[in-house]
């Protein structure tokens, strides 16, 4: 099979090239096609299964709820990780036994698909530009609807400045959650470790709320998410700072805003990219009655959304070039 021979010739004798090749195709898939269909998306499937089981949990005993939170995490890992591991082993087994290139190609496609499923660059950009386009058309109702897909807060009464702020906040946070963190764990531990992160982060997004229903069930996923995001969030600051220099933004304000507003959010990690974006774009980021970041005015122009997307894309590119690929190469050499 010509495709199999081509990939095998490039990659088979060089483990470094193989994973760089997988990463390259995953990025191309993401940037060209975006997210896989919901029916096939491992994150969506995992979320639906876990949500179904969660709906059956009887509340009232906080110790049992803690335990259920742990079991939901195990369930999520099983739904997402086990199919990948099982299919990978089966395809590799047949490839080694039958020496048929089709199994190598299928294994490669499997790696590309699952690696793509753990990060989302185009989707984040597209969601941001949906808000941008609505504001550009002066359609506040549509802008509220679109930003409501990005944040969990009540958006029904948000005016333009707070819609822009919420969009930029989401782009900043998801630079870590949807791009830097999953690729950080891929670079250190392969697709398997990246899937572990994605499951933890997904369950935190679903259950990590301090309300009556999820205070105890969501405790374990939320704490694991805080731990796993600690290093990626701080790495994001470095690449946002570098991007602010490349894009002729305000690196001095990035540092100043980070140092002054690093304690304003309840999350131990989300303040890092948000303060950096606030400083780089010279805008106040504000969630009403929760926090206000930056010694600036609230954004008035939807152009700040485009600038935030540009900052996110540049930071992602720098992270891939100067961290992910070198890390894969160095670890493969050892």
List, for residues 210-239, the tens digit of each pLDDT value.
888 899 999 999 999 999 999 999 999 999
Q: Exposed, middle or buried, 249 (CB in 10 Å: 0-12/13-18/19+)? A: buried
Residues 6+ apart with CB under 8 A from 295: 257, 260, 284
Question: Is residue 320 within 8 Å of residue 182, measured between CB atoms?
Answer: no
* CA atoms of 111 and 117, how far apart (whole Å): 10
Distance, C-alpha 128 to centroid of its chain:
14
Tell whether the model's pLDDT for residue 333 goes beyond 60.
yes
* Of 176, 28, 16, 8, nearest in space to 101 by CA: 8
Number of domains forming the structure of the chain: 1
Q: How confident is the model at residue 331 (pLDDT cuts 50, 70, 90)?
A: confident
pLDDT (mean) for 275-293: 97
pLDDT at 1 over 80: no
The predicted pLDDT at position 159 comes to 97
Long-range (24+ apart) CB contacts under 8 A made by 129-136 are: 129/305, 129/306, 129/309, 131/163, 131/164, 131/167, 131/302, 131/305, 132/167, 132/302, 132/305, 132/306, 132/309, 135/160, 135/163, 135/164, 135/302, 135/305, 136/302
Q: Residue 163 CA to chain centroid, in angstroms?
A: 21
pLDDT confidence of residue 329: 86
Q: Give every CB contact of residue 10 below 8 A, 6+ residues apart in sequence.
A: 17, 21
In this prediction the pTM is 0.94
- Apex CA 274: angle with CA 129 and CA 142, to 5°? 30
Cβ atoms of 78 and 199 within 8 Å: the answer is no
Six token digits for residue 145: 């609807």
HEC sequence for the chain: CHHHHHHHHHHCCCHHHHHHHHHHHHHHHHHHHCCCCCCCCHHHHHHHHHHHHHHCCCCCCHHHHHHHHHHHHHHHHHHHHHHHHHHHHHHHHHHHHHCCHHHHHHHHHHHHHHHHHCCCCHHHHHHHHHHHHHHHCCCHHHHHHHHCCCCCCCCCCCCHHHHHHHHHHHHHHHHHHHHHHHHHHHHHHHHHHHHHHHHHHHHHHHHCCCCCCCCCCCHHHHHHHHHHHHHHHHHHHHHHHHHHHHCCCCHHHHHHHHHHHCCCCCCCCCHHHHHHHHHHHCCCEEECCCEEECCCCCCCCCHHHHHHHHHHHHHHHHHHHHHHHHHHHHHHHC
Which domain range does residue 81 map to?
2-333
pLDDT digits (tens, 9 = 90+) for 55-110: 998 888 889 999 999 999 999 999 999 999 999 999 999 988 887 889 989 999 99
């Amino acid at each position: 099979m010509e495709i199999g021979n081509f990939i095998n010739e490039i990659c088979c004798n060089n483990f470094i090239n193989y994973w760089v090749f997988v990463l390259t195709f995953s990025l191309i898939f993401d940037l060209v096609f975006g997210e896989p269909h919901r029916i096939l998306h491992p994150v969506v499937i995992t979320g639906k299964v876990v949500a179904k089981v969660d709906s059956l949990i009887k509340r009232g005993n906080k110790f049992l709820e803690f335990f259920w939170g742990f079991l939901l995490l195990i369930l999520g890992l099983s739904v997402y990780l086990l199919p990948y591991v099982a299919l990978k082993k089966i395809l590799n087994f047949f490839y080694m036994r039958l020496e048929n290139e089709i199994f190598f190609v299928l294994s490669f496609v499997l790696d590309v698909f699952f690696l793509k499923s753990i990060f989302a660059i185009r989707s984040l950009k597209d969601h941001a530009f949906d808000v941008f386009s609505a504001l550009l058309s002066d359609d506040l109702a549509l802008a509220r609807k679109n930003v409501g897909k990005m944040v969990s807060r009540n958006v029904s009464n948000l005016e333009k400045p707070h819609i822009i702020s919420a969009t930029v906040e989401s782009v900043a946070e998801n630079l870590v959650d949807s791009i830097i963190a999953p690729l950080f764990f891929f670079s250190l531990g392969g697709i398997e470790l990246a899937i572990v992160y994605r499951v933890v982060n997904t369950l935190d997004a679903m259950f990590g709320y301090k309300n009556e229903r999820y205070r105890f069930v969501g405790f374990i996923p939320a704490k694991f998410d805080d731990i796993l995001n600690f290093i990626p969030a701080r790495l994001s600051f470095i690449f946002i700072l570098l991007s602010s220099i490349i894009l002729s933004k305000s690196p001095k304000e990035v540092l100043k805003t980070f140092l002054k507003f690093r304690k304003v959010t309840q999350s131990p990690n989300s303040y890092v990219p948000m303060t950096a974006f606030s400083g780089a774009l010279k805008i106040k980021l504000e969630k009403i009655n929760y926090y206000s970041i930056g010694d600036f005015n609230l954004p008035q122009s939807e152009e700040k959304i485009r600038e935030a997307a540009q900052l996110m894309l540049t930071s992602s590119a720098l992270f891939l070039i100067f961290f992910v690929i070198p890390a894969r190469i160095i670890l493969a050499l050892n």
